[in-house]
Amino acid sequence: MSVRPILIAPDPRLKLVSEPVTGVDDHIRTLVADMIETMYDAEGIGLAAIQVGVARRILVLDVEQKEERRNPRVFINPIITWSSEATAVMEEGCLSVPEIWDEVERSQAIKAEYLDADGNLQHLEAEGILAVCLQHEMDHLNGVLFVDHLSKLKRSMALKKLAKAKKLKKAS
């Protein structure tokens, strides 16, 4: 396992639509293990493969790790099969858009299906933070960042703040 570099917006690779995984093999399991290690190293609760430069439909989540428990979950080729009409607004951030936080409205509950790390088909009903995090990470698989859900003005301000932070980091 190794920590991989995380792509930072506006890296154009973050806008790619990820390709489905055709089979779960040792290469995919190594990628998943690296993604989990990278997510923990960055103190995140979710990470999509594209965020480490691999355009495959894979994501990892651990919404419990903030409570100092580790329960990583692997989602390969996830799809949302149902989403509630009821929505929830939560503050979101992103490892690829560091230090930017804003409120995003998403479905409050979802149903999804996906392959686990062994290639077995799984079904999930989720609500709250798990539902929000899964929707956020699945957006990455389609080339969408959470700031894309913001108004044009808020998105512009967030990306300018990010660019300014990058410049300051390079100058120091």
- Assign 25 to helix, strand or coil: coil
The answer to which of 72-86, 90-104, 109-123, 158-172 has the lowest mean pLDDT is: 158-172
Alpha carbon separation from 20 to 23, 33, 62, 67 (Å, rounded): 9, 18, 22, 32
Handedness of CA 152, 155, 161, 167 (dihedral sign): negative
Domains and CATH numbers, the chain: 12-171 (3.90.45.10)
64 has catalytic annotation: no
Residue 5 has pLDDT above 80, yes or no: yes
Segment holding 111, helix H or strand E: strand 109-115
Identified catalytic residue from 67, 125, 127, 137: 137
Segment holding 107, helix H or strand E: strand 97-107
Q: How many helices (H) and strands (E) does the chain have?
A: 3, 7
Instruction: Please report the pLDDT score of residue 99 as a whole number.
Output: 86
Cis peptide leading into 72, omega within 30 of 0? Answer: no
CA 18 to chain centre: 12
Q: What is the mean pLDDT of the chain?
A: 92
Which has the closest alpha carbon to 163: 104, 100, 92, 91? Answer: 100
The model carries a pTM of: 0.91
Instruction: Please report the pLDDT score of residue 66 as a whole number.
Output: 64
Residue 31 has pLDDT above 90, yes or no: yes
CB-CB contact of 69 with 53 (8 Å): no
Instruction: Please report the pLDDT score of residue 123 as a whole number.
Output: 98
